[in-house]
Structure 1
Amino acid sequence: MLILLSASHKNSSFEVLEMLSVGGGGETAGHIVAKHVALSGAVIVATCNRFEAYLDLDEPYGVSPLPAVYAAIEAVSANSGVPQDTLRDTLTLVHGNGVAEHLFAVTSGLESVVVGEGEIAGQVRRSLEQARAAGTTSPELERLFQRASQTSRGVKNRTGIGSAGRSLVRLALELAESRVSDWAEARVLLVGTGRYAGASLAALRDRGAENVRVYSPSGRAQKFASSHGIDAVLAADFAGAVAGADVVVTCTLGEDHVIDAALILAGRAAVGVNSHPIDTESRAVHLCPADAAPEAPPQLIIDLGLPRNVAPNVVDVAGVELLDLETISIHAPLEELNATDEARELVGRAARKFSAVAEEQSLAPAVVALRTYIFELRDAEIARARSRGDSSEQTEQALRHLTGVLLHTPMVRARELARAGEQESYITGLDALFGVQVDLDASSSAAPAADAASADVPAAS
């Protein structure tokens, strides 16, 4: 049984998502699997706007998933520091056939802040790779995530979703348009060389930015700069580079703030510009003597990191404006309805096909048992006919043909009942009619489509 625990920009606060992002990845997946004996696999998808745990529960349909859910919540809480009660109130639970449809929609960009954004498909793919490296995948999770990648490519190729190349990076720069009069003249500092750095640089260049430098807290700036034709900033010069930039874009994966008010003030002092202190209660600016250093120009800091790369106190520095993921998500544009509807239809169709395959596979042992039983009867009749002197090819062909005719309807009914979630009816019928007894393995059971609906995780009793 597939289970999903989901927190996203739709149902969770930015602060909780920020904490969950720290506890994401293979380590959390390993802790989840270790917490419950029936959990055979876990894949964590942790991005800037969502945290999702996809779990493979080795239990038959009808067994409550809540013990495994609570065990997973306990593991996530231990890794992220988010209290269990908060997680129970925040996380949405989906199990059964709805898991596939949700992941396919996520991977296709339909659940993103910016509908159709392209980065999410790569993030989902990397999540599976991390789970493989941690040894926490299962055959069913592998099939689920591989099918999700195929679906996202189909949605991208057949609909208008993402045709404008929109992304969080590009949306942030659109929101910054009113603050930047001329991108060609703007001094831009890119902080980070990770997953968003390349996309950020490409989006900046599309806007006309020419004066872009890069700094990396991890020391990778020179390599990134060389491969992208820009200049690198050394650690010793970082504060001054921040102070001298018109626009700063941060997109690092570190857990600590790389920019705060103290760094900006130190940088301004180093480059010889004045920064009037602000009274944080009244927001009044305390003016300095007339012979003070030149005024610092207005600065825009765009923080694309999660956890935050930039401390909130930077807005207490005169002239500094902060645009972070929380603000960006508030200004996300409305969906392009026609393209979205078409994409969701493709996602729904792919999810139904995924579930149908799983459900048909759930009765495979019963189908094999019935075929074996009928074939044994056929072979016995052929042997009996031969023992009576009837070894004609026509008799054997007739018996084989009759076997195929007799099996046709049971094979069709197996698919129909499996897709309806009525596997038990098929098993009962085999036992009642033929005395064929089959004990379906727990991993082959599938929840009916009625269980596709999501529900809030109930509080523990």
Structure 2
Amino acid sequence: MLFCFTSSHRTAGFDLLDRLERGADAVIDAIRAEQAVTGSVVLATCNRFEAYLDVDLAQVQLPDHAAAGLVDLIAGAADVAADELRDGSELLGGDAVASHLFAVSSGLESVVVGEGEIAGQVRRAYTSARRSGAVTHELERLFQGASRTSRGVKNSTGLMTQGRSMVRLALDLAESRFADWSAVRVLLVGTGRYAAASLAALRERGVTDAAVWSRTGRAQAFALSHGIAAVPADGLTAAVASADLVITCTVSPALVVTHAIVDEAMELADVDKRLLVVDLGLPRNVEPAVAELERVELLDLETISLHAPLEELQATDSARELVGAAAAEFAAKSAERDVEPALVALRQHVFEQLEAEIARQASRDVNGDIERALRHLVGVLLHTPSVKARELARDGDAAAFIEGVAAVFGVEPGASVAESNVAEQGLETA
């Protein structure tokens, strides 16, 4: 059964998200070591931390125990207090998982609604898990559905093609600090996921003076491919001193731009210099104490998110309708799968009777006419139950078909769907 642990800007502060991001590798290892978890995909972005899991409920006592155990597992691995994590997260099960992921991958749950970067982040999380062998058939179906849905939203509504992103929002907030972007000296710290996007957005505003520094030694390659200057490994402080705007966008688990570095840089700079530092990293790249320095202003993800436009001003009704329809179809297909064991058992029972009858008629059926007629008759008779089974499943009444097959034919496909549905409802409300 699928369910999702989610902690995002909607439920938690960026300090908690920061700690979850730093503990992501440990969380992934802990989840995959759990026997009841047959598959997992962990999504960690600048404003959310989520784990999508396929859980074998036969290996847990009760669904609510599984849900509570997951919170404790993640809290322990990420070194976060369980109560804090419980207050800053949600647990979703059953049909709600697809509805949530489809909305996330379509940009409808982002800080900046409709931002286009999230679809790629979801895809990379899925691809990474798949390469590690952690993706089950159900997770495969879930994430393939999310990919189709985000493409549909992008192609049908244009919601994800209008330049919405955390980078652009940050630069919008910085607009009032700079009268002439062409005169602004910019330092990019890092060559990570936002570096190229930041540079593109800066150039759209007219920035021509940009340089890049990287703790990993990738600055030279990034600079050559993007036509900007590269800062030597030991030149960070001097580069900060000469910059008007510093944008950090690394995936470093440690702070990169510290209070000491900026303090020294401001001592080297002109006395009338003012510096804006934009921290797009999660975990955060800039030490919060930087904001306490004179003539220095810090915009981090938490501050930027507070200025995000209201969802109602950006989301379109058609995008939400597409997501809702896709989630409903996913749920319907999942429900149809619930009746498959009963359908298989029914067909097996009927064909066993058919083969026995064909064997009895073999001596009389010289030309095979009786066999062909019997097989045709069985196919016709099984068509209506097959269609009805799927209709009942889509209407949420798969148990009626399973119980009917058992009552009429004495066929028992195994654990009833009614039992699994009760378990699923218990997990959703945990």
Cα distance in structure 1, aligned partners of 2:60 and 2:255: 47
What letter corresponds to residue 99 of structure 1 in structure 2?
A: V
Question: In the alignment, is the contact (CA less than 8 A) between 1:23 and 1:76 conserved in 2?
Answer: no
**For 1:19-418, what aligned pairs fall within 5 Å after superposition?**
19-25=19-25, 27-35=26-34, 37-59=35-57, 64-269=62-267, 271=268, 273=269, 294-335=270-311, 340-387=316-363, 389=364, 391=366, 395-418=370-393
> Sequence identity of aligned pairs in percent?
53
Provide closer, same or farther for how the CA distance between residues 153 and 406 of structure 1 changes in structure 2, counting only shifts above 3 A: same
**Corresponding position of 1:289:** none
What letter corresponds to residue 439 of structure 1 in structure 2?
A: G
Query: 1:397: Cα distance to partner?
Result: 4.0
Query: 1:363: Cα distance to partner?
Result: 2.2
Cα RMSD between the aligned structures?
A: 2.6
Who wins on radius of gyration, i.e. which is larger? 1
What letter corresponds to residue 87 of structure 1 in structure 2?
A: L
3-state secondary structure, aligned to 1:203: helix
Deviations 1:101-156 (A, max 9, x none): 10011001000001111111111111112223443222211221122112111110
Question: In the alignment, is the contact (CA less than 8 A) between 1:97 and 1:449 conserved in 2?
Answer: no
Query: 1:454: Cα distance to partner?
Result: 6.0
Question: In the alignment, is the contact (CA less than 8 A) between 1:421 and 1:446 conserved in 2?
Answer: no
TM score, norm. by length of structure 1: 0.87
Kindly indicate whether residue 30 of structure 2 is the aligned counterpart of residue 10 of structure 1.
no
Provide closer, same or farther for how the CA distance between residues 393 and 454 of structure 1 changes in structure 2, counting only shifts above 3 A: closer
Question: In the alignment, is the contact (CA less than 8 A) between 2:36 and 2:60 conserved in 1?
Answer: no
Provide closer, same or farther for how the CA distance between residues 453 and 9 of structure 1 changes in structure 2, counting only shifts above 3 A: farther
What letter corresponds to residue 111 of structure 1 in structure 2?
A: E
Query: 1:440: Cα distance to partner?
Result: 4.6
**Corresponding position of 2:409:** 434
With 376-385 and 215-224 compared, the bigger mean Cα shift is at 376-385
With 89-98 and 444-453 compared, the bigger mean Cα shift is at 444-453
Cα distance in structure 2, aligned partners of 1:296 and 1:338: 39
Provide structure 2 residue ranges, at least 5 long, that are not aligned to the other structure: none
Provide closer, same or farther for how the CA distance between residues 117 and 397 of structure 1 changes in structure 2, counting only shifts above 3 A: same
Cα distance in structure 2, aligned partners of 1:193 and 1:148: 28
Provide closer, same or farther for how the CA distance between residues 98 and 203 of structure 1 changes in structure 2, counting only shifts above 3 A: same
Deviations 1:41-86 (A, max 9, x none): 1211111101111111112699732222233222211222211111
3-state secondary structure, aligned to 1:184: helix
Provide closer, same or farther for how the CA distance between residues 148 and 445 of structure 1 changes in structure 2, counting only shifts above 3 A: farther
Instruction: Name segments (4+ residues, structure 1) moved above 6 Å.
Output: 60-63
Question: In the alignment, is the contact (CA less than 8 A) between 2:63 and 2:427 conserved in 1?
Answer: no
**Corresponding position of 1:424:** 399
Question: In the alignment, is the contact (CA less than 8 A) between 2:98 and 2:142 conserved in 1?
Answer: yes
Provide closer, same or farther for how the CA distance between residues 254 and 183 of structure 1 changes in structure 2, counting only shifts above 3 A: same
Cα distance in structure 2, aligned partners of 1:60 and 1:75: 19
Cα distance in structure 2, aligned partners of 1:106 and 1:452: 24
Query: 1:31: Cα distance to partner?
Result: 0.7
Cα distance in structure 2, aligned partners of 1:48 and 1:338: 20
Cα distance in structure 1, aligned partners of 2:100 and 2:423: 13
Cα distance in structure 2, aligned partners of 1:221 and 1:313: 26
Question: In the alignment, is the contact (CA less than 8 A) between 2:60 and 2:66 conserved in 1?
Answer: no
Provide closer, same or farther for how the CA distance between residues 330 and 363 of structure 1 changes in structure 2, counting only shifts above 3 A: same
Deviations 1:306-336 (A, max 9, x none): 1211112112222111111111111111236
What letter corresponds to residue 289 of structure 2 in structure 1?
A: N
Query: 1:243: Cα distance to partner?
Result: 1.6
Cα distance in structure 2, aligned partners of 1:168 and 1:452: 37
Cα distance in structure 2, aligned partners of 1:133 and 1:385: 54
Cα distance in structure 2, aligned partners of 1:441 and 1:129: 34
Query: 1:433: Cα distance to partner?
Result: 1.0
3-state secondary structure, aligned to 1:162: helix
Query: 1:265: Cα distance to partner?
Result: 2.2
Question: In the alignment, is the contact (CA less than 8 A) between 2:389 and 2:401 conserved in 1?
Answer: yes
Query: 1:447: Cα distance to partner?
Result: 4.2
Deviations 1:1-42 (A, max 9, x none): 1111111111111111111111124x422311323x321112
Q: Bigger relative contact order, structure 1 or 2, given CA contacts below 8 A and separation 6+?
A: 1
Higher helix share: 2
What letter corresponds to residue 322 of structure 1 in structure 2?
A: L
3-state secondary structure, aligned to 2:285: coil
Provide closer, same or farther for how the CA distance between residues 420 and 24 of structure 1 changes in structure 2, counting only shifts above 3 A: farther
Question: In the alignment, is the contact (CA less than 8 A) between 2:178 and 2:184 conserved in 1?
Answer: yes
3-state secondary structure, aligned to 2:83: helix
Cα distance in structure 1, aligned partners of 2:240 and 2:428: 45
Query: 1:366: Cα distance to partner?
Result: 1.8
Question: In the alignment, is the contact (CA less than 8 A) between 1:98 and 1:452 conserved in 2?
Answer: no
Query: 1:392: Cα distance to partner?
Result: 5.8
